[in-house]
Structure 1
Amino acid sequence: MEILKTHLIQIDWDGPYSLAELNKLQNGETDYGVYQIYGKHPIYGSDVLLYIGKADQQTFGLRISQEGWEYENDYKNFKIYVGRLRGSQLSTNDEWSKEIDLAERLLIYVHKPALNSKSIASLPDAELQDIHILNWGSYRDILPEVSGLRWTSKLDDFPYEIYKYKD
């Protein structure tokens, strides 16, 4: 039997924040990671997941403010949830950046937010096969656990049999 390896990424979610509260998300030591934006969509309704993004090399407050959300419909009612990566040991800034990128890509592919249409179409399959994400805290409407094993081609050719009762 082949042993499957996993790379665990844990995300601690916090929110909601409004666009007007982005100044609260400017801590240069900790305010990096992935974020979710909820709001009104003409087809899917109100208070739905619109977008998943990443804040890497710049804080959540700075990154989100650069995206022009204030020009969207009903922007005053947007709810923003920020996810900070956590774990038992500090990683290098390069490793931290890589984990932020992988987490964002897998979360977008799995949840398919309406305003991430460019990112939904392509999945970097090989890079995400061993990624396993655990979402903690206020993760809102995304799944509490997401695995690259489930959402990539990793297990497509994995040998298996239906279990049978044996005497």
Structure 2
Amino acid sequence: MKSQQQVIIHIDWDGPYPLDQIKGLNDRKTEKGVYQVYGTHPVYGKDVLLYIGRTSDQTFGKRILEEKWEYTNNYGDVKIYVGRLAGSTTPSNDTWVKEIDLAERLLIYSHKPAFNSMSIQTIPHQDLHNIHILNWGLFNQLMPEVSGLRWTKILDNMPNYEVYGEH
């Protein structure tokens, strides 16, 4: 197995925001990243993770309101958490957008929100193997850490894998 450099993506989460406050998240320099939608699901109950999405070309305020959550979840209890990528330096826009995409895909695959059913069915691509996400702040029901090593199949065929001490 070839070793790859791990890419650590830090996400600083904030929320919850009711839908009527989302429109204020429109600063084009900072208001992009990934977001979580919570609400009532007819099977899973109240205040559950329904959806994970991303925005990179638009702000949180524009993208989230386009999805019409006030009509999708007719229980009226939608809450949004927004996740802004963070680190010691702001990367190029291309790198930033790529990290947003990778983070969204790995978070969806590992948490399996009910309204992301199409994305859950897809097996993560090879580019997720070396991704490691650290969730900070108010990340609600997400795991604090998510690793592509754990959630992809890269380790499934590890040669000579056995419990220590068996041989």
Same fold (TM over 0.5): yes
Amino acid corresponding to residue 118 of structure 2 in structure 1: K
Give structure 1 regions of 4+ aligned residues with deviation exceeding 3 angstroms.
1-4, 73-76
Amino acid corresponding to residue 146 of structure 1 in structure 2: V
Shift of 1:75: 5.4
Shift of 1:76: 3.2
Identity, in percent, stands at: 59
**Could you give the per-residue CA deviations for residues 136-164 of structure 1, whole angstroms, max 9, x where no partner exists?**
00000010000000011111122334323
Which residue in the other structure is 1:93 paired with? 93
Question: Which consecutive residues of structure 1, in runs of 5 or more, have no partner in the other structure?
Answer: none
Normalising by structure 2, we get a TM-score of: 0.93
| 2:83 is the alignment partner of 1:83 | yes
Which residue in the other structure is 2:24 paired with? 24
Shift of 1:2: 6.1
Distance across 2 between alignment mates of 1:110 and 1:164: 31
What's the C-alpha RMSD, in Å, of the aligned pairs?
1.8
Amino acid corresponding to residue 142 of structure 2 in structure 1: I
Distance across 1 between alignment mates of 2:10 and 2:91: 13
Task: Check whether the contact 1:105–1:123 (CA below 8 A) recurs between aligned residues.
Answer: no
Question: Which consecutive residues of structure 2, in runs of 5 or more, have no partner in the other structure?
Answer: none
Which residue in the other structure is 2:164 paired with? 163
What aligned pairs does 1:1-167 form with structure 2 within 5 A after superposition?
Answer: 3-74=3-74, 76-159=76-159, 160-164=161-165
Amino acid corresponding to residue 49 of structure 1 in structure 2: L
Count residues in correspondence.
166
Amino acid corresponding to residue 118 of structure 1 in structure 2: M
